[in-house]
Amino acid sequence: MPLVANSKLPTFERLRLEGETVVAREAALRQDIRELHIGLLNMMPDAALAATERQFFRLVGESNQIAQFYMHPFTLTELARGTEAQAYVGQYYESFDRIREQGLDALIITGANVTQPDLSLEPFWKPLIKVIDWAYENVASTLCSCLATHAVLQFRYGQKRKHMGFKRWGVYAHRVVDRKHPLVNDVNTRFDVPHSRFNDIARAQFEAARLRILVESEVAGVHLATSADGFRIVFFQGHPEYDTVSLLKEYKREVARFVRGARADYPPLVEHYFSLKLQAILEEHRERILAARARGEPVPDLPESLILPALDNTWHDTAEAVINNWIGKVYQVTNIDRRLPFQPGVDPDDPLGLGK
């Protein structure tokens, strides 16, 4: 069902040009279709701000429930931003005060860059808690991505993430371990999910918090879990929203950091993402960079024209199916008056009827 271009946010036009269904607000108002209002707390750094919008907007817009999706992006004023990004946020984003006043049916919270050894020392820590506490009482379901999952596990459940000593970076096979949960209904029982993180919340920690584990990987650990009621909070540890090229862009940034001396080692290849042919191309490129540096010559550009056509996406369809199930349950349990999150007769402590 369509995204509604309820603002002049450039992401709407970008998605329309990519073939997504986006309708003008004026046209949407003439249609007798239920609205769903979904917030996006975007905490990503400036360079990834718009891309993250597109990734999550796309997943929501591609779900096939009968609804019009009004997206409400906002961020935290405590996050430092450059002049251009601050102007972008000021022009296109809403304030949290307005979000609270108008209400939401559901909320998505992105990851963020961290600079401190403990999340509680980050400038976004207290304002993020404020948003999540409000959402827990006033929004039917909150979906937390990666860093947001780690933050909620720490402040609400007392489970701190642990540094792995390396970066879990790649596309990993996962398996559904709770096939009766509505969020994984009709989802492939085995599928891939991208991960990109230095820290991990282990299965034992999810279990200690009495959370419901739905999907995990033998290598990458727990990916999808929910709060005990099965719905109020949904946790992603991976990045199913990633575009096909997202990990390539990360790899390119890390190579650039090596070239300018910001990292001492040449970045390893992203695991299970590049084919054998692409690995050979990138290894050859690595040797050319090292040779150029040794001679004091300009380094060659990444041969993206050889790489981009050969990249495969093995996760998006399943990500879309999970989001579709999530949106479907939001649709079923929310009240048309968004200030009242649950329909009459829905137990807020067990909105999916899973049993306590």
160 annotated binding-site participant: no
106-150 tens-digit pLDDT: 999 999 999 898 999 999 999 999 999 999 999 999 999 999 999
One of 239, 254, 285, 320 is an active-site residue; which one? 239
167 is in an annotated binding site: yes
81 annotated to a ligand binding site: no
Question: What are the structure tokens assigned to 143, written together?
Answer: 């979906």
Q: Which of 193, 194, 236, 197 is nearest to 213 (CA)?
A: 236
> Is the confidence at residue 349, as pLDDT, over 90?
no
Beta partners for residue 216, in sequence order: 175, 222
The whole-angstrom separation of Cα 92 and Cα 96 is 13
- Nearest alpha carbon to residue 79 among 51, 108, 42: 42
Where do the H-state alpha helices sit in the chain?
Answer: 10-17, 25-29, 49-61, 83-92, 96-102, 125-138, 147-155, 203-208, 246-259, 276-295, 304-307, 316-333
pLDDT tens for 33-62 read: 778 999 999 999 999 999 999 999 999 998
Instruction: Report the pLDDT value the prediction gives residue 77, as an integer from 0 to 100.
Output: 94
What is the residue type of 113? N
Burial of residue 49, with CB atoms counted within 10 A of its CB: 0-12 exposed, 13-18 middle, 19 or more buried:
buried
Three-state DSSP at 122 gives: coil
Domain boundaries, the chain: 3-242+315-333, 246-310
Q: What is the pLDDT of residue 203?
A: 98
DSSP 71: E
Please choose, from the candidates 258, 283, 168, 279, the residue with its C-alpha nearest in 3D space to the C-alpha of residue 218.
Answer: 168
Catalytic option among 53, 216, 241, 250: 241
146 catalytic per annotation: yes
pLDDT higher than 70, residue 27: no
Name the residue among 157, 232, 247, 167 with its Cα closest to residue 200: 167
pLDDT tens-digit series, residues 223-282:
999 999 999 999 999 999 999 999 999 999 999 999 999 999 999 999 999 999 999 999
Judge contact between 43 and 75, C-beta under 8 A: yes
Quickly tell me which residue has 């190579």 as its tokens: 255
35 tagged catalytic: no
- Residue 47 has a pLDDT of 92
Mean pLDDT of 151-175: 97
The pLDDT of residue 32 is: 60
For residue 1, what pLDDT is reported? 53
Mean pLDDT of the chain: 92
The C-alpha atoms of residue 35 and residue 27 are separated, in whole angstroms, by 13
96 neighbors 132 (Cβ within 8 angstroms): no
Work out the end-to-end distance of the chain between its first and last CA atoms, rounded to an integer number of angstroms.
33
What is the rounded CA–CA span in Å between residue 342 and residue 124? Answer: 29
The domain made up of 3-242+315-333 is a member of CATH 3.40.50.1100: no
pTM: 0.90
Percent of the chain with pLDDT over 70: 95
The one-letter code for the residue type at 98 is R
- Is-catalytic flag, 241? yes
Out of 37, 62, 72, 146, which one is annotated catalytic?
146
Any idea what DSSP says for residue 297? P
pLDDT single digits (tens) 277-329 = 999 999 999 999 999 999 999 999 999 999 999 999 999 999 999 999 999 88
Kindly report the backbone phi and psi dihedral angles of residue 30, in degrees, each rounded to the nearest multiple of 5, phi listed first: -85, -5
Residue 29 has pLDDT above 80, yes or no: no
Residue 208 confidence (pLDDT) above 90: yes
Task: Outline where 260-356 has alpha helix (H).
Answer: 276-295, 304-307, 316-333
Q: What is the per-residue pLDDT for 25? A: 72
Ramachandran sector of residue 210 (left: φ over 0; alpha: ψ -120 to 50; beta: rest)? left
